[in-house]
């Protein structure tokens, strides 16, 4: 019977993990990073470490490259994005939409498109302020972790480019070496970020003591309310109101 791949990337780097081969080098990357027991520094990705939304940008890229029907895909992509900003996104419906192109083209073709996307659309979104904040926590010896609702096909290589070895993201399912269009386990979105983080903490024997979490979005309030050091980054109106109510720092990581 076909075997469904477990979400092992960045949760364990067991050499026997039956994960698609393209991510094998990232396991080596994670193993090369010094482990420590100091505070967690947790980062949202889109509109936090990045100055825009990588998920929405990927959909726009696919439309611009005419790898999907431009009008139909862009309309649906924008619709889901507005739902996300309003806090009403059906994450499972969105992930099926976002992962569908991986079923429509050979893997090597999509990997090449992803590399072009990262170079053209993602690199310009990484500000020097974001790099400086990451380095600040690294210099303090903190354990760096990205947690994002954007699927791993897009975000795993972004984490690598940022020099952050650990990432929690919706993990695309692979059966017999092929993407299925589904994800494995709980998507790391809203309360799902807390669920996935708790599993990660148990796996890595880490704790939330002294943890930082940086985010821009109302969707991350469940996790922001749990950490010792919540920080609002260019927040939406809902998050800004909560940050002001509870005295959380509000910062910008944009290079103005």
* pLDDT score of 37: 56
The one catalytic residue in 44, 55, 166, 220 is 44
Q: Where are the domains of the chain?
A: 22-27+34-251
Number of Cβ within a 10 Å radius of residue 125: 18
* pLDDT score of 84: 82
The one catalytic residue in 14, 46, 220, 256 is 46
d(CA 254, CA 126): 9
What residues contact residue 54 under an 8 Å CB cut-off, 6+ apart?
45, 46, 121, 122, 125, 150, 154, 155, 158
d(CA 226, CA 238): 17
* pLDDT score of 29: 45
| CA atoms within 13 Å, Cβ hemisphere of 248 | 27
The answer to whether 165 and 159 are in contact (CB under 8 A) is yes
The answer to whether 208 and 228 are in contact (CB under 8 A) is yes
* pLDDT score of 33: 42
Positions in the chain short of pLDDT 50: 1-25, 29-36
- The yes-or-no answer on residue 46 being catalytic is yes
H/E run at residue 74: helix 70-86
What residues contact residue 135 under an 8 Å CB cut-off, 6+ apart?
none
Tokens encoding 170: 């919706």
Tokens encoding 205: 């024997």
* pLDDT score of 185: 93
* pLDDT score of 81: 85
* Strand partners for 232: 215, 250
| CA atoms within 13 Å, Cβ hemisphere of 178 | 9
* Architecture of the domain defined by 22-27+34-251: 3-Layer(aba) Sandwich (3.40)
H/E run at residue 178: strand 178-184
- The yes-or-no answer on residue 44 being catalytic is yes
* pLDDT score of 195: 97
pLDDT tens column, 37-85: 579 999 999 999 999 999 999 999 999 999 999 899 888 989 988 988 8
């Amino acid at each position: 019977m076909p075997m469904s791949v477990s979400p092992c990337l960045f949760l364990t780097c067991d050499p026997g993990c039956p994960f698609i081969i393209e991510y094998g080098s990232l396991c080596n990357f994670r193993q090369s990073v010094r482990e420590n027991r100091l505070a967690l520094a947790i980062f949202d990705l889109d509109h936090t470490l990045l100055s825009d939304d990588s998920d929405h940008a990927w959909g726009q890229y696919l439309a611009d490259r005419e790898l999907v029907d431009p009008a139909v895909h862009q309309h649906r992509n924008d619709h889901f994005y507005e739902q996300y900003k309003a806090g009403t996104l059906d994450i499972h419906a969105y992930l099926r939409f976002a992962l569908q192109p991986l079923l429509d083209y050979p893997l090597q073709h999509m990997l090449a498109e992803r590399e072009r996307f990262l170079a053209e659309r993602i690199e310009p979104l990484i500000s020097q302020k974001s790099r400086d904040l990451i380095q600040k926590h690294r210099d303090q010896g903190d354990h760096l972790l990205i947690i994002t609702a954007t699927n791993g096909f897009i975000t795993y290589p972004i984490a690598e480019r940022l020099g952050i070895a650990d990432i929690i993201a919706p993990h695309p399912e692979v059966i017999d070496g092929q993407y299925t269009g589904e994800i494995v386990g709980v998507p790391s979105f809203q309360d799902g970020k807390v669920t996935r983080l708790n599993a990660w903490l148990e796996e890595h024997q880490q704790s939330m003591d002294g943890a930082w979490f940086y985010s821009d979005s109302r969707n991350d309030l469940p996790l922001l309310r749990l950490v010792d050091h919540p920080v609002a980054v260019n927040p939406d109106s809902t998050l800004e109101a909560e940050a002001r109510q509870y005295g959380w720092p509000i910062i910008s990581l944009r290079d103005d």
